[in-house]
Amino acid sequence: MPGDDPPSSDRRYTAALLIIGNEILSGRTKDANLPFLAETLNGWGIELVEARVVPDIEAEIVAAVNALRARVDYLFTTGGIGPTHDDITAASVARAFDVPLERHGEAVRRLQAHYGDPALLTEARLRMANVPQGGTLIDNPVSAAPGFQIGNVFVMAGVPKIMQAMLLGLEGRLTGGRPLLSRTVGAALPESQLAEDLARLQDRFPDIAIGSYPGFAGGRPSLSIVLRGRDQAPLDRAAEAVAEAMRRLGAEPVFFG
């Protein structure tokens, strides 16, 4: 850790993701929000440290919201904020915070502007303007119906296009630390051949997280070593040491990033 940075820059900022929806747990829909959230947050210096998927059941959502929001700087939820009976996220988050669910005036105005004709603003659509007391809106540039923030909890849509727009709109609203930097070194090696070198290098570079990800490329074993840390110089030294270990095993390392 460098000594000349203000202490605050070494503070680690953490986040969790709560994915709400039976359709994910049934396997019908594949979640696409976790990778986008993880990568976006990483650019803001915030580390995703846990994710959970729970069904559309209020007690499950309340328990998960309360467990996770206490553990991290920021909790993000996706899913369950549409107009139908199975969209119970807003009510569940209100319950988790023990505050009433209220119709939010500005949210109603946005829905009115979006639908135009007042006859189209049905009671079902107005449900999307329900926000826990004290919540502030998260913009939805795609389809108007907003998400909301209450405390350190950010409630977003599950549809990836809308979730992504909502998240990117939060840029600047969240405090982060220094982004985690990463380098990847690949080689055509079975993972187990490099295992002892990696264990030794992990001991030598305790501030660098060294991950080993085996795969297959063209029928041959391939290996990606991912190194992550907050300082470029030790990260580069560790990546070079991994490459050197690969060379000693007769493989040609390839650097990615």
Residues 6+ apart with CB under 8 A from 102: 130, 131, 132, 133
Touching a second copy, residues 152-211 (CB under 8 A) = 159, 180, 182, 191-196, 198-199, 202, 209-211
State which of residues 7, 27, 116, 218 lies at the interface with a second copy (CB under 8 A): 27
Q: State the nearest-atom distance from the C-beta of 182 to a second copy, in Å.
A: 8
38 sits near a second copy (criterion: CB under 8 A): yes
Q: State the nearest-atom distance from the C-beta of 34 to a second copy, in Å.
A: 7
Touching a second copy, residues 112-151 (CB under 8 A) = 122-125, 127-128
Triad 252, 202, 9: Cα angle to 5° = 110
Three-class secondary structure assignment of 165-223:
HHHHCCCCCCCCCCCCEEEEEEECCCHHHHHHHHHHHHHHCCCCEEEEEEEEECCEEEE
Q: State the nearest-atom distance from the C-beta of 66 to a second copy, in Å.
A: 14
Closest CA to 221 of 171, 181, 187, 256: 187
State which of residues 12, 49, 102, 188 lies at the interface with a second copy (CB under 8 A): 49
Contact 19, 31 (CB under 8 A): yes
Alpha helices in 98-172 (DSSP H): 105-115, 123-126, 160-168
24 sits near a second copy (criterion: CB under 8 A): yes
Q: Give the number of residues in contact with a second copy, rule: CB under 8 A.
A: 61
Residues of this chain that interact with a second copy (CB under 8 A) are: 22-32, 34-39, 42, 48-56, 60, 82-87, 122-125, 127-128, 159, 180, 182, 191-196, 198-199, 202, 209-215, 226, 228
